[in-house]
Structure 1
């Protein structure tokens, strides 16, 4: 016990190691106990991903067809299987990459030529389940959101080099284990200016029936302290947000929301929302997207004061990860603007999406316009050559774009 308290104090994360309830018995708990005491485990060596391959060469050929505004260029940063949401280390710029499977990857650019040299598995002894969401706090602690558990890794940028990272459990479950589900099961995270974590929890249905609602915390964005305390619903009435981010000046929470399927090829629209305070309701399931009413709820009175989107997108483009641009590499006109990854439709007869959108946001934090920024992953024959998931910024001001279809991360930079 003394060892753990000493470790926690050294890492400024004492409550992380005490958080959560007991895990399953056996090797998993034994591994966690050892990691929390800085002891070596029997975890396998991290899996490595080859980079200089024919697959990488073919991805580079695909990138030749991507259209960008004048002065911008795109290149392959790394081959990363199932690459989803990304968190860039604040000290080393190592990129931690979540997936919808059982792996978290790290991407290291050791010679700083803006190409990932090494891609390897992070924390091979940890039993991740859908570790999609990743985020750093301002102390350099990495948080990984699985389907029903939230992990913390103090000094992740140091410990990732080996197979045994320091680890704590912030939250051991978000809802009862017997209520776990596979649809809309992938969490995303943001560390807010208030020092708290914000996490989306999608609900499992296309549209739940009135007798299935409310389902909270499913269908919400929750907020909690980094030690797991203070758990509360921050935003209500959300179908399935797969992108949350805070404005760099106002601190307001912005998030995408994927809207209802099966209503038609052109309705309802996808959403970009802004939450300005705790407790706001964003309309689902009364509304399927924008102001489009859903069939099961059309005769039900919506909650008072529903907050409608700041911006709507073409239906079924599947808007996922987003980031505000705070770098200095791009022209000044991009400062504090949003970049949004559109994953692309999955059941539309004529596919749409598969691109990165630029959303112009003015100095008052209001949306001015939206335009395609990077596109070309969807061919004229309706074939996906890639499906963007998330966007993140490197310290040099270039943008990373993850793609879980190709299994890659791209880098977009400005040459001027």
Structure 2
């Protein structure tokens, strides 16, 4: 009885500590409008922003910055900064180009080492960031990025990998550390120049394979003002907002049957959906999108959004609703008022690359992150060259209520910027491990991190 009382007391103490920490965060004012457009100096865990379409300034072609970050070595013992009660442990370092990371049903971590043209696997020691085993699952790929297990669930038979120009799949059984056979090509002839990061995801029922294909340019300057055969015929025969010429079949999300057949367009006008996932609570497909450059420091906003069937998100003619890109002024009046507004806007030129929802439904009540995080999403911001006052280079948390986004997002994992001119880390991939830890990759110094919450628990 005494032991049980002591455990209950420890649980209550942990709850009080967590509640106090979240109350302190909630007391911080939400940065809105121009106040939300600060740079890296204002970034720290708990800083919360809300950007609305009406907050965006007018585009200014004359004030587009070129401000690429210098890359420094990771300072000795440097760790990312996290909210109170959280800690980060290093899983691995010195990887060529760790990008997307996905959790296999058995808990193994699959990492796309894109520039090395391989997929790595890490099996962690239970409750630790220390790899018990690691392996190269497959090599001789072509800038692999997206990874998905099929069928969805606990017993996959295949692991799909999105190369820059194709989707392939490998026969797979839980626990495989190396591919047992050569890959089978499922989708080929994907255009691969310029934006090459191809992400993939399966619908919850396993019937649909989604593929994101980024644009082949910044703002479609060489696409031509009219498609061959005339604009009117194009509009009648293609999805709303479909681009043509060198951009045909790009800046969109496509769908296929699991065998690669029955290809179709889900949504258009998504300049570069570099990260996709399915929201566990609703089954909705979500994208994080890198918007266009050269319109000024704070325009247009980057965004995360549910991807609605048949929707058009603006690129290249419009952005964030009915805002016309001045480089395409007057070209598509037929699309005015038909642009879907994304769900969550983020600071321009933050370069969101991946998204993961924190579900936690299979975790014990006292495991993983605090309950306040369950249902929210994490987004990795890689940072961009096109902003005078640097931003990005962090992981943020998108806030949801009853399965719906509030529009607010919060700094969660910062500390990758060394100075105004240098960074040591550029976050790319996020996934939730089977034990509830958050796994983050960054390709500046080629590291992988495991983020856990203690918050007084022991």
TM interval, shorter chain, is 0.7 to 0.9
Q: Considering only CA atoms, is the larger Rg found in Structure 1 or Structure 2? A: 2
Describe the superposition over 1:129-156 as per-residue Cα deviations: whole angstroms up to 9, x where unpaired.
1111111132422110001111111215
In terms of mean alpha carbon deviation, does 343-352 or 399-408 score higher?
343-352
What secondary structure, in the 3-state scheme, does the structure 2 residue paired with 1:132 have?
Answer: coil
Q: Residues 243 and 397 from structure 1, CA distance in 2 versus in 1: closer, same or farther, beyond 3 angstroms?
A: same
Q: Residues 166 and 414 from structure 1, CA distance in 2 versus in 1: closer, same or farther, beyond 3 angstroms?
A: same
Describe the superposition over 1:68-103 as per-residue Cα deviations: whole angstroms up to 9, x where unpaired.
111111111222331000121102x22111133212
Give the corresponding residue for 1:189: 200
What secondary structure, in the 3-state scheme, does the structure 2 residue paired with 1:271 have?
Answer: strand
The structure 2 residue matched to 1:308, chosen from 341, 349, 353, is 341
Give the corresponding residue for 1:274: 306
Shift of 1:173: 2.5
Per the normalisation by structure 2, the TM-score is 0.71
Give the corresponding residue for 1:47: none
Residue 339, structure 1, aligned to residue 378, structure 2: yes
Describe the superposition over 1:299-357 as per-residue Cα deviations: whole angstroms up to 9, x where unpaired.
13152532111111111010110011012411111111010100011232332110001
Q: Does the 8 Å contact 1:202/1:219 carry over to 2?
A: yes
In terms of mean alpha carbon deviation, does 128-137 or 389-398 score higher?
128-137
Structure-1 separation of matches of 2:334 and 2:305: 18
Higher relative contact order (CA 8 A, sep 6+): 2
Give the corresponding residue for 1:97: 111
Residue 207, structure 1, aligned to residue 207, structure 2: no
Give the corresponding residue for 1:410: 449
Q: Does the 8 Å contact 1:156/1:165 carry over to 2?
A: no
Shift of 1:114: 3.1
Q: Does the 8 Å contact 1:89/1:96 carry over to 2?
A: yes
Q: Does the 8 Å contact 1:159/1:166 carry over to 2?
A: no
Q: Residues 111 and 363 from structure 1, CA distance in 2 versus in 1: closer, same or farther, beyond 3 angstroms?
A: closer
Residues 151-300 of structure 1: pairs in structure 2 closer than 5 A: 151-155=168-172, 157-161=174-178, 164-165=180-181, 167-174=183-190, 180-195=191-206, 196-209=208-221, 210-211=225-226, 213-214=243-244, 215-276=247-308, 278-289=309-320, 291-299=322-330, 300=332
In terms of mean alpha carbon deviation, does 132-141 or 333-342 score higher?
132-141
Q: Does the 8 Å contact 1:269/1:290 carry over to 2?
A: no
Give the corresponding residue for 2:236: none
Unaligned 5+ residue runs, structure 2?
1-72, 228-242
Q: Residues 247 and 164 from structure 1, CA distance in 2 versus in 1: closer, same or farther, beyond 3 angstroms?
A: closer
The structure 2 residue matched to 1:128, chosen from 137, 141, 162, is 141
Give the corresponding residue for 1:324: 357
Q: Does the 8 Å contact 1:94/1:109 carry over to 2?
A: yes
What secondary structure, in the 3-state scheme, does the structure 2 residue paired with 1:369 have?
Answer: strand
Q: Residues 60 and 307 from structure 1, CA distance in 2 versus in 1: closer, same or farther, beyond 3 angstroms?
A: farther
Q: Does the 8 Å contact 1:84/1:99 carry over to 2?
A: yes
Describe the superposition over 1:351-390 as per-residue Cα deviations: whole angstroms up to 9, x where unpaired.
2110001111110423252110111101343311100001
Unaligned 5+ residue runs, structure 1?
1-56, 175-179
Aligned pair count? 348
Q: Does the 8 Å contact 1:88/1:392 carry over to 2?
A: yes
Describe the superposition over 1:28-49 as per-residue Cα deviations: whole angstroms up to 9, x where unpaired.
xxxxxxxxxxxxxxxxxxxxxx
What secondary structure, in the 3-state scheme, does the structure 2 residue paired with 1:98 have?
Answer: strand
Shift of 1:167: 3.2
Shift of 1:168: 2.1
What secondary structure, in the 3-state scheme, does the structure 1 residue paired with 2:262 have?
Answer: coil
Structure-1 separation of matches of 2:253 and 2:270: 8
Structure-2 separation of matches of 1:369 and 1:396: 27
Structure-1 separation of matches of 2:422 and 2:173: 38
Structure-1 separation of matches of 2:84 and 2:147: 32
Give the corresponding residue for 1:144: 161
In terms of mean alpha carbon deviation, does 75-84 or 151-160 score higher?
151-160
Shift of 1:239: 0.6
Shift of 1:275: 2.0
What secondary structure, in the 3-state scheme, does the structure 2 residue paired with 1:61 have?
Answer: coil
The structure 2 residue matched to 1:391, chosen from 430, 438, 450, is 430
